[in-house]
Structure 1
Amino acid sequence: MRSRPALVAVLLVAAALAGTTAGSPTVEPSAPPGDQLVSPAGTESYVWPYTSRRQSTAGRTLALNVVVHGEPDRVRRAFVDRSGANWTTVGENETVDVSPWRPAHGSVRYSYVSPDGEGNGGWIAPEYQLGVGAYFGERTHIRAYPSASANWTALQAHTEYWDWFRLRHTVTGVESGALVVERDLEDEPFVDAVDRRTRGSLGGGSDSSWIAVEFTAATLLGVALPLTRRRLSRRDIAIPVAVVGVVLGVRAWGLAAEAVAPGVNPKLYVAVGYPVLVVGPAALVNALARDRPPVLAALLAFAGMAVAAGADLALVGVDPIPTHIVHHRLALAAALGTVAFGAARTDRRLLGIGVVAWLAALAAPLFGIV
């Protein structure tokens, strides 16, 4: 009989836990009403500004509270691989600004995206989740929902802690989560502006606004700005040095060989030097660019070829340089940059395109195109 109260207590606890963990009834996916969708870009591609436990507005949870305007892949790299993706800014007496965000585990929450705001979209799970802090302690947690048809990524950011008595995370703040993201990005060189914009929807911890982060345009000039403040490693510098060395080395070898043996048929020297010029730059860039930041590697290869071409022409006294020669050398530099980018990303298709472009640019003069 003494065990009966204990048995009753256990049954009560089990019943309470069953009540808190019982699954919700299945709900068929349904699109939110059009007037509940918001366009982050103001012109195209819409999103339901909340997350949901299921593919229906009936499971609404927290509000989306940050929108980052930029190419979705670039946004992701800005969070998860900032130093490796050339986001780092390093100068004298500065510390490396490595991203604090790490891949995070969390329950799936859906949001709805549409290309036209007329119900022609679909429910999507977060493409990735990130966190700062400890899973079993306190952390800031992000779920990311990139647009498939526009250059923005909507985030749901919140602070939370692990509750052992509830066996789940308990959200402590939505606004505080957005502020962590804002503070992390606002001073980065790849961010143009951070401001707060009204989206007109309350609920889910929202005050009817979200934080908008505008990335710098992803042009070569825009990307080059943070790169100029990045301390180059020896492997980085080796890329342009190798290209310049091969180009000027072939020129110097030809001049020296002619001076030593002027009676030899020049075509014999060409038969030795030209294959080195064809194979050397592309092969060295392919080897040296591996495991380097892709954009940085491409820029260094392009710059190395441009400098090498200019120095080569200056060495033999070409002045002024004909326009068609300038265009040809720029084409070679662009092709070599593509080789470097493909090698750095271990992308065989892109690497192949770069090699083909390099060979085509070299072959163009042989067929009278240049």
Structure 2
Amino acid sequence: MRRSLVVAITLLAVAFLFVGGPSLLFSPSADDVAPEEEERPEPNIVSVEDSESGFWPYLNAREAHEKRSPLNVVVRGETDRVVHLLTAYGDGDWEETDHDHFDAEELVGLADNETDDELANGNESSAPSDETLNPVSPTDIPWSHADGTTRFAYLDPGPDEDAHWTTETLQLEDGEYYGYRYHVRVYESPNPDDRWLVMQTHSEHFDWFTLRHRVDGVEAAQSRLERDLMAIPGIDVQEDVQRIYLDNAGPSDADGWAAKVDLTAMATASVAIGLAARRTRRTDGASQRVVERADREVDDRLTDVDRERLAAASDRLEAGHLILVATIFAIVLGVRITGIALDRTVDALTAHMIAALLYPFIAVGLPVATYAIANGLERRLDAAIIASVSLAAAIWLDYSLLGVDVLPIDVIVQRALVVVALGLIAGGAARRATRDSRLNDMLAAGIVLWVLVLGGTLLGYL
């Protein structure tokens, strides 16, 4: 029992250091994802110039005035023509998808927390004035139709009709459903004589441990869509592209400003648009000479006691430890890669079918494989630490490959608990833990925690 407590405390420390610590340090929106709830004001309709109609600058999962998903792009032009440009042309191959989408979170951590902050009237004057945006050439990344979860927009046709809720006219996506994607919802003017569309765009990734899309933010996606709209031939960036203030800052990284692109002055209807942009990635490396010099410096600083400790740790290393590390990495990254590959290549499989096929590798495959491999290891603490650190490292590598650098608090907690549970399973499977009984307190605690965490997540409790 005493040894089990030592292992459990060690695993909690590992979970905090390798999951909670980095997340809290490098997730800038962790403190802002769940603003306190306040009384909801009456909706303020944003009017589009030269038209009587307007819109409330947020979307919602239900017909209620909750400040959830901020609208962030406005396009002036004939509705049919704008939609045609967005769906029919581009540098890439535009293909319609048949995704049967899961419910995506509206914004980071805001699915269960409503934000209704009334913004100060002085925010507009303190924010930058309308500014011209600089054009960026489009890339070859294709967009495609998306069948995402329905979100409602509140539109006002003008003085002769009542404002009402409506669903999207069109949805687009760029990226991988089971990886990282940019998602756009498009809503057309309720008045046929007016010529405008309003859009909400955000970036999101699929979370295999929760079977949900997690929205990472809106700013990067908004900039991406701005650049693509500015790349339309015939657009005068100085005259046709501006920033307008919609006073809808607050959720995630939304700053209250929207891009406004005017297509009404374009001379011809047949122009090409490439809706795509470069996802910036930074790669850092060091030369072999620098690495060798660093190795020499580390070696010079090691004392005889340090070398003895390293030698002892090396003697405790078993082939099973390396197999356990490789197996955990293979399952976590293999599910991600296989999901993307199946979504790309097998048209007969819907999104739900792919999830049903691959999720068991996470929910059952990880603990079963960990138990089977750890059962051949000698020491409980070694097996527990190897399994938990490997899972934490695999999770962070998965996020790194997706380009995700912001995590909400609920995801941090869930991942930490999963890391602890797998470590307990590995420690409880080691030979020294199973000398008296196959089912020991450490293994039982790990299995129960694993089931409760994943089951609670799927049922919406985590």
Normalised TM-score (structure 1): 0.45
The structure showing larger relative contact order (alpha-carbon pairs under 8 Å, at least 6 residues apart) is: 2
Greater gyration radius: 1
More strand by share: 1
Normalised TM-score (structure 2): 0.36
